[in-house]
């Protein structure tokens, strides 16, 4: 077994070393001890107090012996209603603790033990389920990201190339200039699929033109938004698509290094990614002299440790740098001052997978996949809750929402009706049954006071207490608030308190005032989105 000094020395000269070191200690000892923290602080020349504050910010770094093996049970908005609370209570004798949504809403209830995920709706029925469920295909419209994802061995290099993988990268490096790659993306109108919706080609162009080296590509695979599990299925079934998308971004921008920031709750996905990176490097698709050209690009995996706010790009970059993962003030933006204060592209998993397909098939093809309404292409919807066929659906923009819910996914369970759904995971708030006559695109969702965002939709039937659902959602936001800005730090807790009682005229007035302040003054999307829960609840119950 390696000594503390040997572990630290192994990682010290690697890019973004702290997360790697912490996970190495966590895996070796099954917790992070006081002695380990002191040695890490000395080895990385960090103040011990700063290191302690950073480590304890993350939910999954155990601080007691054998803590890594203690069961963690998902009690997210869907799983708590599908048996999660009962499983947690049953496993309390093993020291079980609750964890927020673990990104398996299509396969309830996940229980994390060490590096293994078990699933089941009863404690005595938990079983290993190492991979995601394959995405369902209604067979109505051509897909983009999911077009070949169901092919045999698609998550291996052999299977990926048999279905046209790396053709877009080969074409780009052999025939296109970096600016021409960017123009293809700009023509396609691909926008960020993580929720913000910023034009991808414009982002890449900004990094290309920004001064400073080395430039960096970051894949944000820390999908912590409750009700979202689309990135997991892409990474499990199509990891080479992410590698290809990142390498295309590197070629277009001049970047030489990349990071996949993977959420802690996906331990099996880590193994799939590590194998895919090894395959890609062996065949010359990443590494030095890619495809025989003067183009070098290396990709590193860095695991998070359980912090919702790290899905925000500023927090993610601070986490990579070994800092306390607070959001960053903007401007400046990551395109000029990102990782290590240098030009950086931060893209979501879905965005990068789409970019690879666009460079393979062309911008016009991608634009024709949608039904229009000012958005091109497709969106993956993670659909879960009280619905007959939960899963990830790749839908064309402009598809009627009711068509997805009732035709593609089979509608609610027998003798039940849909009372409400959430949008953007939790961040978009609730949409009531009477408002479901909209199409799936950002403008239509905004018309009913919601947002599409990352595309997580949770369904709640007529048996559910929506006030209780809202209270649970606000508890989540209060727990995950990083505490940097007081509107969010105090506001989320105050809203949680107000939701612990029945609403009346005075409490609704206070809720509205708090929400307005939070939206106008919070430092990041958590604080601005949390009030969507209370605002939409009041609309729903009026």
pLDDT at 131: 63
Cα 229 from Cα 302, distance rounded (Å): 19
pLDDT tens-digit readout, 373-417: 678 999 999 999 999 999 999 999 999 999 999 999 999 999 999
Cα 343 from Cα 448, distance rounded (Å): 37
Torsion angle defined by CA atoms of residues 231, 243, 193 and 322, in that order, rounded to the nearest 10 degrees: 80
Q: What is the pTM assigned to this prediction?
A: 0.96
Q: What is the average pLDDT across 460-478? A: 97
For the chain, count helices (H), then strands (E).
23, 14
Cα 439 from Cα 455, distance rounded (Å): 13
1 in helix, strand or coil? Answer: coil
DSSP assigned state of 114: T
pLDDT tens-digit readout, 297-308: 999 999 999 999
Closest CA to 245 of 361, 348, 336: 348
CB within 8 Å of 534: residues ≥ 6 apart: 470, 474, 495, 498, 499, 511, 515
pLDDT grade for 196, boundaries at 50, 70 and 90: confident
Average model confidence (pLDDT) for the chain? 95
Q: What is the average pLDDT across 266-284? A: 97
Give the largest CA-CA distance in the chain: 69
Closest CA to 242 of 280, 211, 216: 280
pLDDT at 276 over 80: yes
pLDDT tens-digit readout, 329-339: 999 999 999 99
pLDDT tens-digit readout, 126-167: 998 766 667 888 777 899 999 999 999 999 999 999 999 999
453 CA to centre of own chain: 11
pLDDT tens-digit readout, 165-175: 999 999 999 99
Cα 247 from Cα 115, distance rounded (Å): 29
pLDDT at 268 over 80: yes
pLDDT at 542: 77
pLDDT tens-digit readout, 61-109: 999 999 999 999 999 999 999 999 999 999 999 999 999 999 999 999 9
Q: For residues 391 and 237, is the Cβ–Cβ distance under 8 A?
A: no
pLDDT at 41 over 90: yes
CB within 8 Å of 485: residues ≥ 6 apart: 521, 522, 523, 524, 527
Q: What is the average pLDDT across 269-289? A: 97
Alpha-carbon dihedral sign for residues 79, 82, 88, 89: positive
48 CA to centre of own chain: 30
- Could you tell me which residues are beta bridge partners of residue 297? 287
- Could you tell me which residues are beta bridge partners of residue 221? 262
Q: How distant, in Å, are the alpha carbons of 137, 172, 239, 338, 383 from that of 142?
A: 10, 24, 21, 36, 19
Cα 189 from Cα 183, distance rounded (Å): 10
pLDDT tens-digit readout, 205-259: 999 999 999 999 999 999 999 999 999 999 999 999 999 999 999 999 999 999 9
Cα 338 from Cα 61, distance rounded (Å): 26
Q: For residues 298 and 200, is the Cβ–Cβ distance under 8 A?
A: no
In the chain, pLDDT over 90 holds for what percent of residues? Answer: 94
Cα 23 from Cα 292, distance rounded (Å): 35
45 CA to centre of own chain: 31
pLDDT at 373: 66
Q: Which helix (H) or strand (E) holds 421?
A: strand 418-422
pLDDT at 130: 61
Count CB neighbours of 307 within 10 A: 23
Cα 105 from Cα 437, distance rounded (Å): 24
């Amino acid at each position: 077994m390696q000594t503390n000094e040997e572990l630290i020395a192994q990682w010290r000269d690697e890019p973004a070393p702290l997360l790697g070191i912490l996970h190495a200690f966590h895996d070796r000892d099954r917790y992070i001890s006081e002695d380990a923290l002191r040695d890490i602080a000395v080895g990385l020349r960090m103040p011990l107090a700063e290191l302690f504050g950073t480590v304890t910010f993350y939910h999954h770094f155990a601080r007691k012996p054998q803590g890594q093996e203690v069961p963690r049970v998902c009690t997210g908005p869907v799983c708590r209603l599908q048996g999660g609370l009962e499983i947690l209570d049953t496993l309390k004798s093993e020291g079980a603790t609750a964890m927020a949504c673990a990104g398996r809403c299509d396969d309830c209830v996940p229980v994390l033990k060490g590096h293994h995920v078990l699933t089941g709706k009863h404690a005595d029925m938990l079983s290993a389920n190492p991979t995601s469920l394959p995405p369902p295909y209604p067979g109505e419209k051509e897909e983009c990201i999911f077009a070949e994802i169901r092919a045999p061995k698609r998550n291996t290099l052999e299977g990926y190339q048999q279905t046209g993988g790396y053709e877009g990268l080969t074409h780009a490096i052999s025939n296109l200039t970096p600016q021409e790659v960017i123009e293809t993306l700009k023509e396609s109108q691909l926008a960020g699929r993580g929720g913000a919706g910023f034009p991808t080609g414009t982002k890449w162009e900004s990094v290309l033109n920004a001064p400073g080296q080395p430039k960096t590509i970051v894949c944000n695979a820390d999908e912590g938004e409750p009700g979202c599990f689309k990135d997991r299925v892409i990474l499990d079934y199509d990891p080479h698509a992410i590698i290809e998308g990142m390498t295309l971004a590197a070629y277009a921008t001049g970047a030489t290094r990349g990071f996949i920031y993977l959420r802690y709750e996906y331990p099996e996905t880590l193994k799939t990614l590590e194998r895919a990176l090894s395959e890609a490097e062996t065949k010359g698709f990443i590494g030095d002299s890619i495809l025989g050209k003067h183009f070098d690009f290396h990709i590193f995996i860095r695991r998070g440790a359980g912090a919702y706010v790290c899905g925000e790009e500023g927090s993610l970059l601070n986490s990579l740098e070994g800092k306390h993962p607070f959001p960053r003030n903007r401007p400046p933006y990551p395109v000029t001052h990102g990782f290590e204060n240098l030009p950086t592209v931060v893209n979501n998993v879905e965005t990068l997978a789409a970019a690879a397909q666009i460079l393979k098939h062309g911008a016009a093809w991608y634009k024709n996949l949608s039904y229009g309404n000012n958005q091109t292409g497709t969106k993956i919807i993670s659909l879960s809750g009280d619905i007959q066929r939960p899963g990830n659906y790749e839908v064309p923009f402009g598809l009627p929402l009711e068509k997805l819910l009732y035709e593609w996914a089979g509608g609610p369970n027998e003798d039940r009706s849909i009372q409400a759904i959430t949008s953007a995971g939790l961040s978009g708030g609730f949409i009531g049954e009477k408002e479901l006559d909209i199409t799936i695109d950002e403008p239509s969702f905004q018309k009913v006071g919601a947002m599409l965002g990352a595309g997580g939709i949770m369904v709640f039937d007529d048996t559910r207490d929506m006030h209780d659902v809202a209270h649970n959602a606000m508890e989540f936001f209060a727990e995950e608030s990083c505490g940097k800005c007081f509107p969010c730090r105090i506001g989320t807790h105050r809203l949680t308190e107000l939701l612990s009682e029945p609403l009346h005229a005075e409490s609704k007035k206070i809720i509205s005032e708090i929400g307005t302040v939070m939206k106008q003054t919070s430092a990041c999307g958590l604080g601005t989105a949390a009030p969507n829960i209370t605002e939409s609840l009041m609309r729903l119950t009026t």
